[in-house]
Amino acid sequence: MAKRIIVAVIFLPLMLAVMLLPPSIAWTAVVCFISAAAAFELMRATGEGKLSLPMQTAVLLSAALMPLGSWAGLGTAYVSLLSFVVMAVCFWCAIRAYDGYSTPMGFFHVLVCLFGGVVIPLSLSALVELRCMERGKYLVLLAVLLTFATDAGAYFAGVFLGKHRGITKVSPNKSVEGYIGGFISGAVFAVLYGLVAGKIAGEGVNLLPLALCGLCGALATEVGDLAFSFIKRQYGVKDYGHLLPGHGGMLDRFDSMIFCGPVVLFIVRCLPVFEVLQ
C-alpha cells in the first residue's frame, strides 16, 4: 500500500503538469508512450507467445505514432495509413505461419494486433485532440479527472453501501450500489468541475454538455474498467504490467480513459462547453 501511495503522489502531479503546461507536444509525447506501452502489455497478455517480431514492431510503431497524428492534425488519411501497415504486416506474417514458416497463428492474433495497434491508440488520441482544442487544458483535464472521480465514487459507494454484489463474474466484488455511485459521482463532478473551470478561465459554461460528459463519460469509464478486467480474467492475468509499482501497467491505470476519452471528445465537439461572457 505504501508503494502504491508513493507512486501516486509522484506520478499524478507530474502527469498533470505535463498535461496542463505548454507546449501541447509534451502531453502528446506522454500519450504516445502510454499508447505504445498499453499495446505491448496487451500483446504480452493475450498473444500466447505466437506474435512474431515484425507483427509486434508494426503494432508498437502504430501505437506510438497515431497520437502524434492527432497533434499534427493529419486526420483520417494518417490513421488509415497506419491501420493499413498493421493489417498488411500482420496478415502477411499469419499467412507465412500458416504455410509452416513459423509458429502457427490464427485470425485471433491478427485481431489482437489490430486492437493494440489501432483501436487503443486511436481512442487515446482523443486525449491529444482535447488538449489541442481551444481551452484544451480544461477539457483534457475534465476527461482524465472524470475517470478518477467515477472510480472513486464507485469504490466508496461499494464499500459503504454495497449489498448486491456478484452481478458479473468479471468483477464479483463490485456491487450495484458501487456502479450507481460511480455514475452519480461522475455526473456531479463534471458539472462542478465545469463551473470551477469557467470561473478560472473567465468564461461562461454550458451545463448541458457538462452533464452529458459526466453521465456518458462515467458510463464509458465503468464499461472500460469491466472490458479490460474481462481480458485479464480470460487470460489469468493479475496485472498487465509493472511500470507503475503498486498500480500495475499502463493498461491497468488508463483502461477507463480508452473508453471515456472519445466520448468526452465527441460531446464537446458537438456542444461547446465554454462561452465568452458579454
pLDDT score of 278: 43
Q: What is the sign of the dihedral through the CA atoms of 255, 14, 64 and 54?
A: negative
Taking the C-alpha atoms of residue 236 and residue 93, their distance in angstroms, rounded to an integer, is 27
State whether 170 and 101 are in the same domain. Answer: no
Give the tens place of pLDDT for each residue, 125-146. Answer: 999 999 999 899 999 999 999 9
Q: Rounded to 5 degrees, what are φ and ψ at 244?
A: -115, 95
32 Cβ neighbours under 8 A, 6+ residues apart: 64, 65, 67, 68
Query: In a 10 Å sphere around its CB, with 0-12 CB exposed, 13-18 middle and 19+ buried, how is residue 59 labelled?
Result: buried
State whether 75 and 199 are in the same domain. Answer: no
Domain that holds residue 243: 135-278
pLDDT score of 117: 97
State whether 93 and 217 are in the same domain. Answer: no
State whether 179 and 271 are in the same domain. Answer: yes
Question: Contact 42/115 with Cβ under 8 angstroms?
Answer: yes
Give the tens place of pLDDT for each residue, 6-61. Answer: 766 777 788 878 888 888 899 999 999 999 999 999 999 998 788 999 999 999 99
State whether 190 and 153 are in the same domain. Answer: yes
Q: Tell me the CATH number at 158.
A: 1.10.357
Q: What is the sign of the dihedral through the CA atoms of 229, 235, 240 and 245?
A: positive
Q: How many domains does the chain have?
A: 2
Residues in the chain: 278
Using the predicted structure, report yes or no on whether residue 196 has a pLDDT greater than 50: yes
Q: How sure is the predictor about 242, in pLDDT bands with cuts at 50, 70 and 90?
A: confident
Cell 457538462, located at residue: 210
State whether 154 and 178 are in the same domain. Answer: yes
pTM of the model: 0.92
The Cα diameter of the chain in Å comes to 71
Q: How sure is the predictor about 161, in pLDDT bands with cuts at 50, 70 and 90?
A: confident
State whether 125 and 169 are in the same domain. Answer: no
Residue 1 lies in a domain: no
Could you say which of 110, 132, 154 is where a domain stops? 132
Question: Contact 200/185 with Cβ under 8 angstroms?
Answer: no
State whether 113 and 249 are in the same domain. Answer: no
State whether 140 and 99 are in the same domain. Answer: no
Q: Rounded to 5 degrees, what are φ and ψ at 122?
A: -65, -40
What's the 3-state SS for 61-82? HHHHHHHHHHHHCCHHHHHHHH
**DSSP run (H or E) holding 274:** strand 274-275
DSSP per residue over 146-176, as a string? Answer: HHHHHHHHHHHHHHHH--SB-S-TTSTT-BH
Task: Report in angstroms the alpha-carbon separations of 179 from 90, 150, 161, 223, 224.
Answer: 38, 9, 11, 10, 13
Residue 6 lies in a domain: no
Q: How far is CA 156 from the centre of its chain?
A: 22
pLDDT score of 142: 95
State whether 178 and 108 are in the same domain. Answer: no
Cell 504486416, located at residue: 89
Could you say which of 132, 147, 180 is where a domain stops? 132
Could you say which of 132, 165, 198 is where a domain stops? 132
Average pLDDT, the chain: 89
Percentage of the chain modeled with pLDDT above 90: 63
Using the predicted structure, report yes or no on whether residue 266 has a pLDDT greater than 80: yes
Give the tens place of pLDDT for each residue, 250-260. Answer: 898 899 999 99
N- to C-terminal Cα separation, the chain: 50
pLDDT score of 3: 65
State whether 274 and 142 are in the same domain. Answer: yes
Residues 151-179 have a mean pLDDT of: 83
State whether 199 and 77 are in the same domain. Answer: no
